[in-house]
Amino acid sequence: MHTQTPNTPRTNPSWFQAGLAAFAAVALLAQAGCGGTTASGGGGGATPAPVVPAWQTPATRYTGAISAINPQMAMDASNNVFLVWQSDVGAGIYAVFVSIYNATTATWSAAAQISTGATSATLPQVAVDTSTNAATKGDAVVVWQQDNGSAVTHIWASHYSVAAGAWTVAQQIEFNTLSAVSPKVVSDRFSNDFLIVWTQPNLNAGNPTSIWYNFWDSGWANWGTEGDLSASTVTALNPSVATDGLGNAMVVYQENSGVVGIDDIKSKRHTWGAATWGTAAIVDNQAFTASNPQVGMDATGNALVVWEQGSAIQSRWYNKSTNTWNTPVYIETTIGTHSNPRISMLPSGTTMAVWEYNDGTNYKVFANKYTVTTITSGTTSSTTASWGTETALSTGIVVGARNPVVALNSNGTAVALWQMPSAVAVNNINAIRYSSSAWGTAAQIDAAVSPATSDNPMVVIDASGNSWAAWQQGGTLIMSAQYK
């Protein structure tokens, strides 16, 4: 056996070198004849570089002849996406449209009008059944307000059945004599029922605005009878609704305290099975106006409410097992005015919140994460929960970073969007991602240029971190972009 000393070159005979050169030439010619190269994969070789996830080029989902605005989105458990919006179809009449992204074929359906009639349908909202029921998961409900032609608006809805692959004919779901506005809808994530809440005056003295509700009952495949949830004797507005996956629901809303100019945040809980609403509870605890509440529920019925009060953002945790509320806490400490909070909650209770911040001159977007950790030892478990430190997502001198939205997935990845003026005073859509416990760098994801402007962003995210964003652009376009 021969050995070779390291770093000592070995000299081969001339006949061996000539044969090796000929062999290499033949191999090269054979490879060329087969049309294969390392880059194309025909001849093997190095592994191609992995694809780096990124926002894809925006695509137009719909072009309105006059206008197309107010996009809303929801994603089901199979990563299909429902996108709805309103569009002026002529003579100042708005209609509600929908397009569905099929995650299996990676295609969007053609835009379809689901509202009917010759009066305006506006402010659509959408929710999708995210339960594991194979027969109904992916069913959806779209709700909106629609003028009756006599200056009164009613709540209308259409239900989408996966099994049938079709939308029901739009139907009115409340029949009060005074205008109903601003509907919100949520899936119960349990039995394929859906809950809608909205604002509408009742018949108490002075006809104060109250919070109303109705259920889509999957067993009957129809809507129930509307009910006055808050039964307010003073003004109530701005409802937010969430469910826990067990059929229970919580609605929070803003209601006048009885003192002019001072509103409270109130909550009511609906118990599945008993089909009853509990007693209203006051969530905030300060003697100045609270507004714009947002609510989320975890998988066991606990809830987190976030709202603005004065110039701050506060939150409060509801413990289902004790039927009590923890002490309210501030989720930010930066001096300035904080407003317009939005949240995304996981079944564990962990929540990401975003909001607008004004330092007196500029608007920026901030975020904070509420982390819920459960530690199990044997047959016992303990849970800790707390807010982190707020983070500025839009940085530098920002004149108007507004309308933030956020989506958080089960792996702890989040994506936030907002609209922000560019150097040419046109709103653009900015996005930023959160992973490995840190926010990345914000980047523009739309391509609007003057005089067009991009507004009202929406976002959804799947378990792998792939995301869809949608927004209105130039007043006539509904746009979308995918992160993958």
Alpha carbon distance 253, 267 (integer Å): 6
Asked whether residue 19 carries a pLDDT value surpassing 80, the answer given is: no
Asked whether residue 355 carries a pLDDT value surpassing 60, the answer given is: yes
Asked whether residue 183 carries a pLDDT value surpassing 60, the answer given is: yes
Q: What is the Cα gyration radius of the chain?
A: 28
Alpha carbon distance 440, 417 (integer Å): 13
pLDDT in tens, 86-142: 999 999 999 999 999 999 999 999 999 999 999 999 999 999 998 877 777 899 999
Average the pLDDT over 287-307 and give the result: 96
And the tokens for 423? 């150097």
What is the pLDDT, as a whole number, of residue 24? 41
Average the pLDDT over 174-186 and give the result: 97
Q: What is the DSSP string of 201-213?
A: E-SSTT--EEEEE
Estimate to the nearest angstrom the gap between the alpha carbon of 3 and the chain centroid: 67
207 contacts 245 by C-beta, under 8 angstroms: no
What is the pLDDT, as a whole number, of residue 44? 57
Q: Domains plus CATH for the chain?
A: 60-233 (2.120.10.10), 342-484 (2.120.10.10)
* Averaged confidence pLDDT in the chain: 89
Cα–Cα distances (Å) from 440 to 212, 229, 433, in that order, read 41, 42, 6
Average the pLDDT over 248-262 and give the result: 95
pLDDT in tens, 51-100: 789 999 999 999 999 999 999 999 999 999 999 999 999 999 999 999 99
Q: What is the DSSP string of 72-120?
A: EEEE-TT--EEEEEEEE-STT-EEEEEEEEETTTTEEPPPEE---SSS-
What is the pLDDT, as a whole number, of residue 31? 41
Average the pLDDT over 145-173 and give the result: 96
Report the length, in residues, of the chain.
Answer: 484
